[in-house]
């Protein structure tokens, strides 16, 4: 689960990491890049509130919510690679990425906490560490791919989707959805 969180969160600050290449390729300004990043934050808030108010986090098996969310984050994020992507579609992509990530971080924390009830402090530290390291991964990818932004987007998207599939298949099998209150 922590590795899945780390890989899925490589989509979070992606636009910051590829800003120079994205600006050159699409003509967007630095101000637009900032708004694209803000879109992920706003989407995350919307997604988290949506999961909490609908009770889906308690109605469905956590590993399936996590898995579907990480796959969705990767798939939506990959849409940045489509030819002819406009500023408005980039904004929608980033908001949808944030909404998708709302099913990764809180659900991943739930899975970690339920798997190690006697070491919740350690689980929290691991989860926050995965978030921090994962959100920095695109910068490492950007340094590896020089000025090309497309491989960074593709790598981040693929890793998020792979993480979702892995967690859905093997992560938290002993975790059972709790009945809604």
3-state SS, residue 174: coil
The number of folded domains in the chain is 1
Give the CA angle between residues 108, 63, 54 to the nearest 5°: 80
**Tokens 């981040």 label which residue?**
156
Q: What range defines the domain where residue 142 resides?
A: 2-170
C-alpha span between 142 and 50 (Å, rounded) = 32
Instruction: For residue 127, tell me if it sits in a domain.
Output: yes
CATH code, 23: 1.20.1250.20
**Tokens 């959805």 label which residue?**
177
Instruction: For residue 175, tell me if it sits in a domain.
Output: no
pTM value?
Answer: 0.90
Instruction: For residue 124, tell me if it sits in a domain.
Output: yes
C-alpha span between 136 and 158 (Å, rounded) = 16
pLDDT digits (tens, 9 = 90+) for 99-144: 999 999 999 999 988 888 888 888 889 888 998 899 999 989 988 8
Instruction: For residue 180, tell me if it sits in a domain.
Output: no
Give me 179's structure tokens: 């009945």
Instruction: For residue 41, tell me if it sits in a domain.
Output: yes
């Amino acid at each position: 689960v922590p590795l899945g969180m780390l890989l899925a969160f490589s989509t979070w600050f992606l636009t910051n990491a590829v800003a120079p290449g994205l600006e050159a390729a699409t003509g967007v300004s630095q101000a637009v890049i900032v708004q694209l990043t803000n879109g992920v934050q706003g989407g995350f808030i919307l997604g988290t509130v949506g999961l909490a108010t609908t009770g889906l986090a308690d109605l469905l098996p956590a590993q399936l919510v996590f898995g579907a969310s990480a796959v969705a984050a990767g798939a939506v994020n990959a849409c940045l690679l489509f030819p002819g992507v406009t500023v408005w579609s980039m904004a929608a992509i980033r908001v949808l990425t944030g909404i998708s990530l709302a099913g990764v971080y809180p659900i991943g924390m739930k899975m970690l906490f339920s798997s190690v009830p006697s070491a919740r402090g350690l689980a929290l530290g691991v989860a926050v560490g995965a978030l921090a390291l994962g959100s920095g991964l695109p910068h490492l990818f950007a340094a590896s791919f020089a000025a090309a932004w497309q491989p960074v987007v593709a790598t981040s998207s693929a890793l998020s989707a792979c993480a979702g599939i892995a967690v859905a298949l093997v992560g938290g099998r002993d975790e059972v959805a709790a009945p809604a209150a």
